[in-house]
Chain A
Amino acid sequence: MAALEVKGVTFSYDNVNPVLKDINLKLNDGELVCLLGVSGGGKTTLFNIISGLYKPQEGKILLNGEDITGKTGKISYMLQKDMLLPYRTVLDNVALPLIIKGVKKKEARRIAGECFEQFGIDGTQKKYPSELSGGMRQRAALLRTYLFSAEVALLDEPFSALDTLTKSEMHEWYLNVMSNIKLSTIFITHDVDEAILLSDRIYLLGNKTGTISDEIIINEPKPRSKDFNLTEQFLNYKREIIKRIRS
Chain B
Amino acid sequence: MLAAVWQTVCSLGNVPKYMLPSPMDVINAFADDWQLMADHAKVTLTETFIGLFSGIIIGFIMAVIMDTCSVIKKMIYPLIVISQTIPTVAIAPLLVIWLGYQMLPKIILIILVVFFPITISLLEGFSAVDKDTVNLMRSMGANRIQIFRYVKLPNSLGFFFSSLRISVSYAVVSAVVAEWIGGTQGLGCYMTRVRKSFASDKMFAVIILISVISLLLIWLTTVLQRVCMPWDKSNKNTRGF
Contacts and interface: CB of A to CB of B under 8 A. Distances in A.
Interface in B142-163: 142, 146, 150-151, 154-155, 157
B231 interface: yes
Interface in A42-57: 48, 51-53
Interface stretch (B10-18, B24-32, B103-111, B131-139): B131-139
A53 B135 contact: yes
A73 B132 contact: no
Contact of A100 (B133, B137, B155): B137
Contact of A52 (B139, B155, B157, B229): B139
Interface residues of A, number: 24
Contact of B132 (A75, A83, A96): A83
Interface size class of B (residues with CB under 8 A): 20 to 34
A-side interface mostly: loop
B33 to A, nearest CB: 46
16 contacts: A72-B138, A72-B141, A73-B141, A74-B141, A75-B139, A79-B132, A86-B231, A87-B154, A87-B157, A87-B231, A87-B232, A96-B140, A97-B140, A100-B142, A101-B141, A148-B140
Given A76-B139, A83-B133, A85-B151, 16 more contacts: A53-B135, A53-B138, A75-B139, A77-B136, A81-B132, A86-B231, A87-B157, A87-B231, A87-B232, A88-B150, A88-B231, A96-B140, A96-B150, A100-B141, A100-B150, A148-B140
The 10 closest A-B pairs by CB, nearest first: A73-B141, A128-B231, A77-B139, A87-B154, A51-B139, A100-B142, A97-B140, A87-B231, A72-B141, A83-B133
Interface of A: 48, 51-53, 72-77, 79, 81, 83, 85-88, 96-97, 100-101, 128, 130, 148
